[in-house]
Structure 1
Amino acid sequence: MVASNFAMKESDLYLPLKRFLESQGYEVKSEIGACDVVAVRGEEMPLVVELKLSFNIDVMLQAVDRLALTQKVYVGILENNKTARKRQRRLLKLLKMLGLGFLQISPDQDKGRVTVLLDPGEYRPRKSNFRQERLLGEFVRRVGDPNLGGSVRNRGIVTVYRQRAVAIAQYIQQNGPSKASSVSQALQDPNAHSIVYKDVYGWFERISRGVYALSPRGEGELPGWLEKTMLSGAGKP
Structure 2
Amino acid sequence: MGENDHILERDLYAPVKDYLVSRGYSVKGEVEHCDIVAVKGDTLLAVEMKLTLNLDVILQAVLRQRIADLVYIAVPKKGKLLFTKRWKNICHLLRRLEIGLLLVSIRGERFLVEEALDAKPFSREVSRAVSGRKRTSLIKEFEARNGDHNTGGSTGKKIITSYRENAIHIAVLLKKNGQLSITQLKELGTDEKKT
TM bin (shorter chain): 0.7 to 0.9
CA RMSD of aligned residues (A): 2.6
Cα gap change, 1:85 to 1:14, in 2 (>3 Å): farther
**2:34 matched to which residue of 1?**
35
Structure 2 length as normaliser, TM-score? 0.82
Q: In the TM superposition, what is the alpha-carbon distance from 1:135 to its structure 2 partner?
A: 3.9
Count residues with an aligned counterpart: 190
Correspondences of 1:221-232 after superposition (within 5 Å): none
Structure 1 length as normaliser, TM-score? 0.69
Q: In the TM superposition, what is the alpha-carbon distance from 1:97 to its structure 2 partner?
A: 1.2
Correspondences of 1:106-125 after superposition (within 5 Å): 106-125=105-124
Could you tell me which amino acid in structure 2 is paired with residue 151 of structure 1? Answer: S
**1:20 matched to which residue of 2?**
19
Correspondences of 1:1-237 after superposition (within 5 Å): 2-3=2-3, 5=5, 7-41=6-40, 43-80=41-78, 82-86=80-84, 87-126=86-125, 127=128, 134-152=137-155, 155-193=157-195
- Judge conservation of contact 2:169–2:190 (CA < 8 Å) in 1: no
Q: Provide Cα deviations, 1:121-153, integer angstroms capped at 9, x if missing partner.
A: 22121145776565444334423321111122x
Q: Provide Cα deviations, 1:53-75, integer angstroms capped at 9, x if missing partner.
A: 22111111000000011121111
Cα gap change, 1:189 to 1:144, in 2 (>3 Å): closer
- Judge conservation of contact 2:4–2:76 (CA < 8 Å) in 1: no
Structure 1 distance, partners of 2:4, 2:54, is 18
Structure 1 distance, partners of 2:190, 2:117, is 51
Structure 2 distance, partners of 1:134, 1:149, is 18
- Judge conservation of contact 1:30–1:37 (CA < 8 Å) in 2: yes
Cα gap change, 1:47 to 1:26, in 2 (>3 Å): same
Which of structures 1 and 2 has the bigger CA Rg? 1
SS of the equivalent of 1:155 reads: coil
**1:225 matched to which residue of 2?**
none
Structure 1 distance, partners of 2:28, 2:117, is 22
Could you tell me which amino acid in structure 1 is paired with residue 159 of structure 2? Answer: I
SS of the equivalent of 1:107 reads: strand
Structure 1 distance, partners of 2:166, 2:116, is 44
Structure 2 distance, partners of 1:25, 1:136, is 47
Structure 2 distance, partners of 1:47, 1:33, is 13
- Judge conservation of contact 2:104–2:114 (CA < 8 Å) in 1: yes
Counting aligned pairs with the same residue, the percent is 34
SS of the equivalent of 1:163 reads: helix
Q: In the TM superposition, what is the alpha-carbon distance from 1:46 to its structure 2 partner?
A: 2.0
SS of the equivalent of 2:36 reads: strand
